[in-house]
Amino acid sequence: MNSQSQNLLTRISLLELAQSGKDHPAWEEFLGYYEPFISRILKQTGVARSDVEDVCQLVLMRLWKDLVNYQRKPHQARFRTWLSYLIHSTLVDWHRQQQRDRLVVGSDAFLFEQAMIDQSELEEKIEAEWKEHIVDLALERLRSIFSGNAVDVFVRSVEGESVSEISKQLNISEESVYVLKHRVKKRLVRAVCELRRELELPDGTP
């Protein structure tokens, strides 16, 4: 079996094994990648920080129950499209429950509904946030690969700090800053590709 075929099997297996249920080890791995991502999305939709954990658990419960019914359709329904529908549906139910619990009526109820994010908008947010999430995961991997300030040098440069500023702040030469930036950037591209192979479906649409 060639490496490409092996990668396809690996990418399919995490999702398929996670579909086996909450007790399967793959479910924990699946959660490790997606639970922080879902929390990140919920914060973007305006859910109060005090409610994010509770709503995230509701989403995960739905995910656990419904994942078994998810059917991979290359070039059609992407997993993140399906996930955006599930998150949106959970948010709608949660908002309605909040209305009932708080007895929100009249104009307040109308404003409450208006605060709900549209599903198409949510899907766009998920697409954008997923890219950032993948980069964050990749950077975490690189921290276990590079020693010293290498990753910090790269992050600071991306955030707009000049070479001279980074050099002074981290007490390293400007030449070292250039070298470390180049090394981390090159390895980051590889790490992102590796994560996409692990977490996204074979047709390139997770």
Residues sharing a CB contact under 8 Å with residue 43, sequence separation 6 or more, in sequence order: 49, 52
As a whole-number percent, the residues of the chain with pLDDT over 70 amount to 74
pLDDT (tens digit per residue) in 130-180:
889 999 999 999 999 998 899 999 999 999 999 999 999 999 999 999 999
Pairwise pLDDT comparison (201 vs 153), residue with the higher score: 153
pLDDT (tens digit per residue) in 86-142:
998 898 888 888 777 765 554 444 444 545 667 778 888 888 888 899 999 999 999
> How is the chain split into domains, by residue range?
3-199
Report whether 193 contacts 9 (CB < 8 A): no
Q: What is the 3-state secondary structure (H, E, C) of 1-62?
A: CCHHHHHHHHHHHHHHHHCCCCCCHHHHHHHHHHHHHHHHHHHHCCCCHHHHHHHHHHHHHH
Pairwise pLDDT comparison (84 vs 78), residue with the higher score: 84
> Using 50, 70 and 90 to split pLDDT, how confident is the model at 13?
low
pLDDT above 70 for 53: yes
Q: Give the pLDDT of residue 191.
A: 94
Structure tokens at 33: 């990648």
